[in-house]
Amino acid sequence: MAIQEHAAAVLTAGVDAPDVRLVGVRKAYGDVVAVDGVDLEIASGEFFTLLGPSGSGKTTTLRLIAGFERPDEGRIELAGRDVTGRPPYLRNVNTVFQDYALFPHMTVAENVGYGLRVRGVARRDRRMRVDEILKVVQLPGLGDRKPIQLSGGQRQRVALARALVNHPQVLLLDEPLGALDLKLRQEMQIELKRIQRAVREVGITFVYVTHDQEEALTMSDRLAVFNDGRIEQIGTPAAVYERPENAFVAGFVGASNVIRRSGRTFTVRPEKIRMTNDGGTRRDDENGATGRIRDVVYAGMFTRYVVDLDDGGELVVVRQNLETSSTEALDARGRRVLLEWRPEHAIETKPKREEKHESS
Ligand code: ADP
Ligand code: MG
């Protein structure tokens, strides 16, 4: 961007502008429309997640925000400034990738301080900021190690520290915990949330990509559900989970559990369904249904039951194993049951939007 243009953009930038704004952004690779008209506003300091299945356009959206890609259409703003045509190094944005991309021959401190060194920050200042950020990610004293001497979780923290030390306005994270095993991933989710709260006061905004709905619900202030290059719903975890706007969101963020009643479609969350053995009289009204248990999945803390309904559909029911043993749970297979839920837990959803046919 030309200097004059840049100056003008700075002057017209709104004080209360969102940290990240996408307006009608579209990006195609040949015939594949990766991002198909995305509008998005992310507030300063927010933990915002792009959630969706593989191939839904999350990474491309992140790369567009970072400046690694240019949109075919639409506009990208950071703190109210149009950065659509600006290269990555002129955007105050840092990215953390899943594979960490640490320099193996450098120590932890050198890795973390690399960005500062490139920007010409003096050695003493650099050391201070590196030490400070290593404390934030809880790796104090490990500055002299090489990446190979660290565990997976520690390496992830170094990658995070290396991005945070630059005080980016926006931190972009693309499935950063994807390579970790489940237990470590869950620990790091909580850890990452703690770090985000710690740096929120300096105004760092987190934009996080994941295909894992539980991760998105655990960590986000708000999330956008992606499907096929478009956003299906934006909201808080509670809103998206409890009030999915359509069948895609209901199915992706939780079990699909769709019921049809007099031409309308509803979804009921598995934990909101009461299941009793009284499946004798056939029922398929707004607050209940009868059926037969087809499948039982014992998962330790809870059991998941798949019930074939008498009227044709199926519902997943989840029950805590409060008093049931695994044998009792598994014995329930084949049993007739009555399912009931409270009227307010049957959420009406719009049908899935039609699949795109055109590919241009
Ligand atoms: P996600 O991160 O949600 O898995 P991506 O944004 O990586 O999805 O990809 C969205 C779609 O764009 C996919 O169909 C993918 O194959 C395609 N795509 C992404 N990057 C490229 C590329 N560089 N060249 C061609 N197609 C691409
Ligand atoms: Mg991706």
Q: In a mutational test of the pocket of ligand 1, which residue from 29, 61, 62, 70 has the highest number of ligand atoms less than 8 Å from its CB?
A: 29
Predicted confidence at residue 278, as pLDDT, reads 83
Q: Which of residues 248 and 324 earns the better pLDDT score?
A: 248
Q: Which of 215, 247, 279 is the last residue of a domain?
A: 247
Residue 68 lies in a domain: yes
Q: Which atom of ligand 1 is nearest to the CA of 53?
A: 3
How do residues 168-191 score in pLDDT, each as one tens digit? Answer: 999 999 999 888 888 888 888 998
Instruction: Name the nearest CA neighbour of 136 among 191, 174, 72.
Output: 191
* Residue 92 within any structural domain of the chain: yes
Instruction: Name the residues around ion ligand 2, CB cutoff 5 A.
Output: 59
CATH number at residue 233: 3.40.50.300
Kindly tell me if the per-residue pLDDT of 343 is higher than 90: yes
pLDDT tens digits along 231-256? 999 999 999 999 999 989 998 988 77
Ligand 1 pocket, residue 55 CB under 6 Å: yes
* Helices and strands counted in the chain (H then E): 10, 19
Q: Give the pLDDT of residue 21.
A: 98
- CA–CA separation, 25 and 134 (whole Å): 36
The SS3 of residue 66 is helix
Give pLDDT tens digits for 106-147.
999 999 999 999 989 999 999 999 999 999 888 888 999 999
Half-sphere exposure of 271 (CA within 13 A, CB side): 6
Q: Which domain holds residue 290?
A: 270-342
325 is a domain residue: yes
In a domain, 354, yes or no: no
Is the domain of 304 the same as that of 197? no
When pLDDT is averaged across residues 20-46 and rounded to a whole number, the result is 97
Q: In what order do the strands lie in the sheet with 20-29?
A: 32-42, 20-29, 73-78, 81-82
Question: Based on the domain organization, do 219 and 277 belong to the same domain?
Answer: no
Residue nearest to atom 25 of ligand 1 (CA): 29
Looking at the fold, whether 203 and 294 belong to one and the same domain comes out as no
Residues 173 and 307 in one domain: no
Measure 207 CA to ligand 2 centroid, in angstroms: 13
Query: pLDDT-based confidence at 15, cuts 50/70/90?
Result: low
Pair (113, 157) in one structural domain: yes
Angle at Cα 355 formed by Cα 349 and Cα 358, nearest 5°?
150
Is the predicted pLDDT of residue 26 greater than 50, yes or no?
yes
Closest to 269 in 3D by CA, of 227, 217, 228: 217
Cβ of residue 101 lying under 6 Å from some atom of ligand 1? no
Rounded distance from Cα 342 to ligand 1 centre (Å) = 41
User: In the chain, what's the furthest Cα-to-Cα distance?
Assistant: 79
User: What is the average per-residue pLDDT within 18-38?
Assistant: 97
DSSP state at residue 277:
S
Q: Is 54 in the pocket of ligand 1 (CB under 6 A)?
A: yes
Q: Say yes or no: CB of residue 56 within 6 Å of ligand 1.
A: yes
pLDDT (mean) for 249-267: 87
- Indicate whether 243 belongs to any domain: yes
Angstrom distance (rounded) from CA 349 to CA 343: 14
Binned at pLDDT 50, 70 and 90, residue 353 comes out as low
Distance in Å, CA 314 to ligand 2 centroid: 31
Does 135 reside within a domain?
A: yes
Domain boundary among 213, 247, 281: 247
Do 174 and 313 sit in the same domain of this protein?
A: no
CATH number at residue 330: 2.40.50.140
Calpha distance 144→135 (Å, rounded): 14
Query: Mean of the pLDDT values across residues 209-221?
Result: 94
65-117: pLDDT as tens digits: 999 999 999 999 999 999 999 999 999 999 998 777 899 999 999 999 999 99
Residue whose CA is closest, atom 12 of ligand 1? 34
Question: Which protein residue's CA is at the shortest distance from atom 17 of ligand 1?
Answer: 34
203: left (phi over 0), alpha (psi -120 to 50) or beta: left
What ligand is nearest to the CA atom of residue 97? 2
Rg (CA), the chain: 24
Residue showing tokens 């329930």? 332
Confirm or reject: Cβ of 211 under 6 Å from ligand 1: no
- Do 147 and 100 fall within a single domain? yes
Asked if residues 139 and 60 have their Cβ atoms less than 8 Å apart, the reply is no
Count of domains in the chain? 2
Residue closest by Cα to atom 20 of ligand 1: 60
- Return the pLDDT at 9: 47
Q: Enter the pTM of the model.
A: 0.85
Q: Which residue has tokens 């404390």?
A: 135
Q: Which residue has the higher pLDDT, 38 or 195?
A: 38
pLDDT at 359: 43
pLDDT-based confidence at residue 213 (cuts at 50, 70, 90): very high
**74 and 189 assigned to the same domain:** yes
Specify the ligand 1 atom closest to the Cα of 52: 3
68 and 166 belong to one structural domain: yes
Same domain, 227 and 79: yes
pLDDT: is 360 or 49 the higher one? 49
User: Residues for the chain: how many in total?
Assistant: 360
Task: Give the chain's mean pLDDT.
Answer: 90
Band of residue 261 on the pLDDT scale cut at 50, 70, 90 = confident
pLDDT beyond 70 at 357: no
In a domain, 258, yes or no: no
64: tokens are 């567009």
Q: Measure the CA–CA gap between 146 and 155, rounded to whole angstroms.
A: 10
277 and 148 within one domain: no
End-to-end CA distance of the chain: give it in Å, rounded: 29
In a domain? residue 23: yes
Express as a percent the part of the chain with pLDDT over 70.
93
The three-class DSSP label of residue 315 is: strand
Q: Is the CB of 57 under 6 A from ligand 1?
A: yes
**Pair 103, 168 in one domain:** yes
